[in-house]
Amino acid sequence: MLLLFLILFFMHGVSAETEAVMEGDSVTLHTNLSDIRNDDTILWLYGPKDSVLSQITRKNDFTSFFVTDDDVRFRGRLQVDQNTGSLTIRNTRITHSGQYKLSISRVKTTKTTFNVTVFGVVGKTDGVTSVSVKEGESVTLKTDVEVQRDDLIVWRFGDEGILLAKIDVGTKENSLNDADERFRDRLKLDHQTGSLTITNTRTEHSGLYELQIRGRESSQRFLLSVTVPDPALSPGGIAGISVVVLLVLVVVVIYYRYKISKLEEQVAKNKKVEEGGSLCLPTGVTKLHKEDKVQWYYKDEREDILIAKINEETSTYGTDVRFINKLSLDPETGNLTINYIENLQAGLYRLKIKSKMRTKHNGFIVIVTDEDEMKSGAEGKHVLLETGVNNIQTGDLILWTFGLKNCLVAKADSRTAYIDERFSGRLELDMKTGSLTIKNITKTEYGHYKLQIIRQEQTTFRRFIVLEPAEPKSEAEGKDVTLETGVNNIQTGALILWMFGAKNCLVARTDSGTGKTYFNERFRDRLELNETTGSLTIKNITNTEYGHYKLQIINKEKTTFRRFHLLEPDDQANEKTTLMNQEKKYDVLVLQDISE
């Protein structure tokens, strides 16, 4: 690998930049831009096929980012600086070595090439023995302890701890993992020493191997680096660079002594779930031991929030209002299930499991897809929630529920019907289709509605969000404007979210329980949030801040929605006319139903 680095160094011209990094560390490729301006386009490419890694564009003071998730080598490892467009590759592997191309389109297009080399670690550092082998060769991971008669020897691979091999020295029983295609017919286990041999190695065998000797609390770790054979060099070339090789080797060793790789930090995996559904985040553990400690964290804007933990076989949950009554822990495995999930629960989750043998880390990026049907109806108007069913069959059971607690609103079968008294004669249930009409709707009835059609063969779900129409607000540029929540007093423990635009960019967030408040830096000290009512004031408004604002107030009982359309004064008359016309019809986004 050192030779490959030097080849790249001598082959490419001065226009190319060279970056070297130790495996497991991060490397940043800099654009050398101080900021991203309007009409800029930044493109990052990789490899001989110029695979797109990231694209950044800025139009009308809005910046959009694309980061690839298609290439498994880079999945969850790429990070783009939103201010400069610089690209960071985290937790690098040898397979990330290669040529990266940067294209910046501004007044003119400039291009830069980066030749990145990721070195396999050398020597023995912090209890991890590094082993390097060329692809196609065999390698033996040797134990440094004397095997005893009652030992149980276990070999594991990767951050997930995949079981590779096991041997009971006393009974001489052993097993090899043939289920994993990467290692099929490639593993050999020495019954006398416990050493593990991998034959005909491939680059996919690179990674962390762990030897565990149960009963003695003994373990060893090996970092295996499988490299593709370097191209042959002429004798003159070898002589010319031999001194440089030694110098680079010294630099690598010194560098690694000062900075240890985070070998066990796993790349976050994407998990997609439909809004309103449930999602299980697995620990990868089949059974926890009594002394194991499990901690689940949610990555907030600035900190990791502890949302659930298991300590001495006792499960406890955090107090963050977004997760109240939504989480459940499996006491045997530590798996975390998020129930009736919403966009509020989207984001990065981190897992930490601490045992006698080691501390394991894992991460998941939860992506919530919006599968609700959205309807808008002005207060005092009628709203129709349609089942999409033409005829209710004999034996069908129709259930309509409302809110986070799924309060029963209406129930019907082919013979009888039930209507909740709170709606005081304002509900109509179509006995033929099961569709529900809410008459003379009030503010307290905006929110989530869920439909279940239960049949002998299957259960069909459909969800609706009934929203109050956007309230038009108008103020001249440079003035102050206040978006009022309509609430007199925010309850203790409530979470208030203000969002802006089609992408629901977070503008402001406050937790009345902790007193913590977050403001988007884009508004630069021009926001005020009323602690009593949650109302938002935008001072010295600019033309880029006209548009749609959304409010969510979340407490233990319910979630309150409100929308505002902030307009320039010249547009307000036209907007009011449009909104009056829209009150006669519903804004409907028809999305996919879910069946079980």
pLDDT, tens only, 134-167:
888 999 998 877 777 777 788 888 766 788 888 8
**Does the pLDDT at position 337 exceed 50?**
yes
- Is 493 in contact with 499 (CB distance < 8 Å)? no
The secondary element (H helix, E strand) that includes residue 10 is helix 2-11
The two tokens of residue 578 are 């449009």
At 191, the pLDDT band (50, 70, 90 cuts) reads: confident
pTM for the predicted model, two decimal places: 0.34
The secondary element (H helix, E strand) that includes residue 573 is helix 572-582
C-alpha to C-alpha distance for 173 and 565, rounded to whole angstroms: 71
CA atoms within 13 A on the CB side of 253: 8
- Is 209 in contact with 154 (CB distance < 8 Å)? no
3-class SS of residue 39: coil
C-alpha to C-alpha distance for 259 and 24, rounded to whole angstroms: 10
C-alpha to C-alpha distance for 589 and 463, rounded to whole angstroms: 11
Of 198-212, 279-293, 369-383, the one with minimum mean pLDDT is 369-383
> How does the average pLDDT of the chain come out, rounded?
74
At 271, the pLDDT band (50, 70, 90 cuts) reads: confident
Please count the other Cβ atoms lying within 10 Å of the Cβ belonging to residue 497.
21
Cα torsion angle, 225, 231, 234, 237, sign? negative
At 558, the pLDDT band (50, 70, 90 cuts) reads: low
**Order of all β-strands in the sheet with 559-567:** 471-474, 559-567, 547-554, 495-500, 505-511, 517-519
Q: In terms of Cα–Cα distance, which of 22, 21, 42 is closest to 33?
A: 42
**Does the pLDDT at position 502 exceed 50?**
yes
- Is 76 in contact with 270 (CB distance < 8 Å)? yes
Mean pLDDT value across residues 391-408: 77
> Using alpha carbons only, how large is the chain's radius of gyration in Å?
30
